[in-house]
A and B are shown apart, each in its own frame.
Chain A
Amino acid sequence: MDRRRFIQALGTGTGIVAFSQAHKDEAKAFAEGQSAINPSDLTWGKAPCRYCGTGCGVEAGVKDGKVMAVRGDTASPVNKGLLCVKGYHLPAMLYGKDRLTHPMKRGADGKSWEKISWDDALDLIASKYQEALKESGPESVAIYGSGQWTIFDGYAALKWFKGGMRSNNIEPNARLCMASAVMGFVTQFQSDEPMGCYEDFEEGDDFIMWGNNMAEMHPVLFSRILESKRKKPNVRIIDLATRRTATTDYADMYVEFRPGSDLAIANGILHLLIESGKLDNAFIKENIVFKRGIEDLEEIGFGCYGDQAEHYTFQDKTRDSSIDEFKKLVSEYTPAHVSKISGVPEAQLRSLAEMYGDQSRGTISLWCMGVNQHTRGTWMNNLITNLHLVTGKISRPGSNPFSLTGQPSACGTVREVGTLANRLPADMVVTKKEHRDIAEKIWGVPEGTIPAKPGYHATDMFRAFMRGDVKVMWVQTTNPWVTMPNLHRIDRKPGDGRFLIVSDIYPTPTTEAADLVLPAAAWIEREGAFGNSERRTQHFDKLVEPPGEAKEDAWQIIEVAKRMGMGHLFPWPEDAWHKPMFEEYRSFGLGHGKDLASYDQLRKTRGMVWPVVDGKETLYRYAAGYDPYVKKSKGVHFYKAKGYGEKAAVWFRPYHPPAEEPDADYPFWLCTGRVLEHWHTGSLTRRVKQLHQAVPKAYVELNRADATKLSVKSGDRVKLVSRRGSMEMDVKVDGRGKPPVGSVFVPFFDEHYLINELTLDAMCNISKQPDYKKCAVRVERV
């Protein structure tokens, strides 16, 4: 102890003051005023977190019917006890003063609300749906859910709509979120979802993040990578992005590219791998086929101009290609050419190619919304996976393409149950007769019940609702009047002849647009199951009662189905339907490589990673020694891709420009996204004091050089103007994110600053997922 430090400690008057009588008295009074409950006085139950797709395990502490605390579940292999600030504040999410507690119907004046009973509400929904079916057919009814639907909610909705209503108009908000990843995996492996798992974060050496601010959006998984980097200092984090973020702070290399040019970069890396002889030719020969689709920009379009602005129904056409043709096609993407399109220095492109080509190091590619919310999102998914396929760096611990998900059950419900206009459970689609036959048989409904034509995808569903082609729509567990792109297109006043039902737990701009509002039970106020990014299915029990008359979403659906004469779809006891429903759903995937764990096993474990065969989970899909469906002694077997001879497909996908680019009138790029503290539209997290106080409102991030040019500083107001809308908001310079010159970023969590009034409803040609990351705006001083 040196002298200075000793004196410092002596001078710590503050430490001594803590011993004063006044302080002692206050501490005593405080202690007596408390109800002195020990953590051990609470009843603790397990559940996955309610927010993102990571699926952290939490333990919720309950007393007197209320959740009073949570803690990270140290037994969970996902998060090993750690949570992020949202997860730690989960309990408060349930107890906002404005919880919806009883059904409410729009009054005759079109503005006020009147309380009604559940019976009346359910009867009304049934009669509205029946009337629409009778007058306009199954294409005039719709249901719009989300990746926050539990597996039970999603399965009930799917079975009711496709097996009862004879309508494929069921869509989730995950169309705005994960659809490009779905179509990426489906076009390459004919089976959705990643091959790797979270263990890859300890096994990998290079973590290449494509347009993905993992530090804020998947913080607990990012912590696993940081811990891995601490233990193995040669672990590298590569951040490819259009804006500096918290993730960049930890990156070994930051690759800043022009929005949309990631297509060119990935092709450029493929070209360099070919040029430097880094292809794994033996792997390619054994496991890969080459494919092409429609590549003409005019023919494809963007889904938002001309006729496509009402219906976007582009269909890709597959044709066979070869490795020689593939090599020739990507040879156009020389470093000089790619550098010109993307603004990325050639040296960085060469570094990236060296990383992907280095067989001594494990490579994990990670992506989420940057790649998926992209007018060529499916292509971008294909290109990243191509990099792993041509180098053989796939389906082995520490080398995998890994798509992250943003909602707790985007995988478990939307992708696995198949709550999409074109899908059925377990990788099946409505367009194939043999698939419809299987579903109809399991559901015990007549042949021909499920229509062969896919329903509206999400964006077209809302367009159709505004046109009046969809007459009755039910929205559950999501907030589309904040999240749809080009929001002015769905400005709606009740009384327009259509009928909108919204189930939620709090009032939102979406309930404001509704004719009927139903109070929902949230998270552990009901029994449920979620599936996370790594194929882990996690069950949770009901641990507390929902407030007032709130009811779980699946119950609401079943009760309406019964009133419409479709009760036979749900033939289970009213007090014990979860288990038989789950086991029926599970039967779709058994024996098809989509084997879920049994209900009983899920209740006992901290989730199980499918395929689960003989009670054992599969960490690495398609990999010999891990996946029980692979009979080889080593290597991989893409056994789901029956249409490709049980091989994976490498697609040639060219560079296409974005749908809208900055010009003289609108000189800035606008990118939208999330912040760590708020989840999606903030309807849950803003009701948590600590989270709201940390980020109380939306703002626009501006580069310092642009701010100087405009003579504005942090806290000043500016007006953002796009071709579709405008908005005034506060400037933030050098905040947590730093956009490059000529671009701005706005988070979308704030219902008072609806940034989607400015965004463009352009979408991916294959997945129909909108692009929220690229449109043009101008910034004006006010």
Chain B
Amino acid sequence: MIAPAGVRALAVVSLLAISALAGCGRGDDAKKDGARGDARTVAKTSARERAERRGYDGAPPVIPHQNFGVECMSCHNDRGMQVEGVGFAPPMPHAVTAGLSDIARCRQCHVFRETDEIFVASDFRGLAQDLRRGRRLNDMTPPVIPHPVFMRENCYACHAGPAAREEIRCSHPERARCQQCHVEENATDLFTP
């Protein structure tokens, strides 16, 4: 898909920001910030914490912040938004999915956590996120997309911008047509007769 101009600009800017900061020796300070572990910042969330928000890889995450009583998309808009005291609210990965239009109900799938208690313990073990890199034919070829693209059409939501995690951060977000080089791995035939 072609990313909206806003998302492209944001991705480029975040790259600029990184190089600018790296160039002026802020790297150590940044490390210190990380060690201090400000719990309110979303982008500092570890892979483990992120995984715990999901029942399994592919399940919609529960909402990690409190209910601010505002429309979800006032922060999770098409560029994402830095929210004072909270962190970066990434854009929606599925802005263009059929059935999920601008007026769709986010909380049909994403719910708040009202308690940490559970009703009954569970033996459920969900599919864990595979943090290995996508499979490649050889070192020179671009990796395939290891997850379904359905409902994750906006690659930038997770792979670029301030909230993108190190392990899946794209090195070349300025090349806007991701699926020109990365294709969906499609090895999931149903075992129906």
Contacts and interface: CB of A to CB of B under 8 A. Distances in A.
Interface of A: 1, 5-6, 8-24, 26-27, 30-31, 34-40, 42-46, 59, 61, 63, 66, 68-69, 71-72, 74, 80-85, 88-89, 91-92, 94-98, 215, 219-220, 222-224, 226-227, 229-230, 246, 250, 506, 541, 603-604, 676-677, 686-696
B88 A71 contact: no
Interface string B82-122: 10000110000000011111111101111111111111111
B192 interface: yes
A677 B105 CA distance: 14
Nearest to A223: B99
Contact of B162 (A15, A34, A45): A15
B119 A690 contact: no
A44 B101 CA distance: 28
Contacts of B169: 18
B75 interface: no
B174 interface: no
28 contacts: A9-B82, A12-B14, A14-B41, A14-B88, A15-B17, A15-B162, A15-B164, A16-B17, A20-B30, A26-B48, A27-B165, A30-B51, A34-B129, A36-B130, A38-B185, A69-B56, A69-B58, A69-B59, A72-B150, A80-B98, A82-B151, A220-B99, A223-B104, A230-B102, A246-B105, A603-B192, A687-B120, A691-B111
A229 B102 CA distance: 11
Contacts of B107: 676
Contacts of A59: 188, 190
A604 B192 CA distance: 7
A163 B147 CA distance: 51
A91 B54 CA distance: 12
Interface in B124-148: 124-132, 146-148
Given A17-B44, A69-B127, A12 B108 contact: no
A34 B130 CA distance: 8
A83 B128 contact: no
B102 A693 contact: no
A68 B118 contact: no
Interface of B: 9-10, 13-14, 16-18, 20-21, 26, 30-31, 33-35, 38, 41-44, 46-48, 51, 55-60, 62, 82, 87-88, 97-105, 107-132, 146-148, 150-151, 161-167, 169, 185, 187-193
Contacts of B56: 68-69, 91
Contacts of B59: 69, 88-89, 690
Contacts of B108: 84-85, 215, 219-220, 222-223, 676
A368 B100 CA distance: 24
B162 to A, nearest CB: 3
Nearest to B132: A36
Given A9-B10, A44-B188, A226-B103, A96 B122 contact: yes
Given A43-B191, A690-B113, A696-B115, 10 more contacts: A30-B48, A39-B58, A68-B127, A83-B109, A91-B55, A96-B122, A246-B105, A693-B111, A693-B113, A693-B114
Interface SS of chain B: helix, strand, loop or mixed? loop
A230 B100 CA distance: 10
Nearest to A547: B123
Contacts of A15: 14, 17-18, 43, 88, 161-164
Nearest to B35: A22
B124 A30 contact: no
A9 B14 contact: yes
B111 A692 contact: no
Contacts of B163: 14-15
A45 B191 CA distance: 6
B127 to A, nearest CB: 4
A691 to B, nearest CB: 7
Contact of B119 (A43, A88, A692): A692
Contact of A98 (B13, B31, B120): B120
A226 B20 CA distance: 44
A91 to B, nearest CB: 6
Nearest to B54: A690
A694 B113 contact: yes
A416 to B, nearest CB: 23
Contacts of B110: 85
Given A26-B47, A686-B119, A12 B17 contact: yes
Contact of A9 (B13, B115, B121, B148): B13
B152 to A, nearest CB: 11
A42 B127 contact: yes
Contacts of B31: 17, 20-22
Nearest to A689: B118
A215 B48 CA distance: 32
Pick the 8 closest A-B CB pairs, nearest first.
A15-B162, A31-B131, A694-B111, A20-B34, A95-B124, A14-B43, A230-B101, A40-B187
B131 A13 contact: no
A14 B87 CA distance: 7
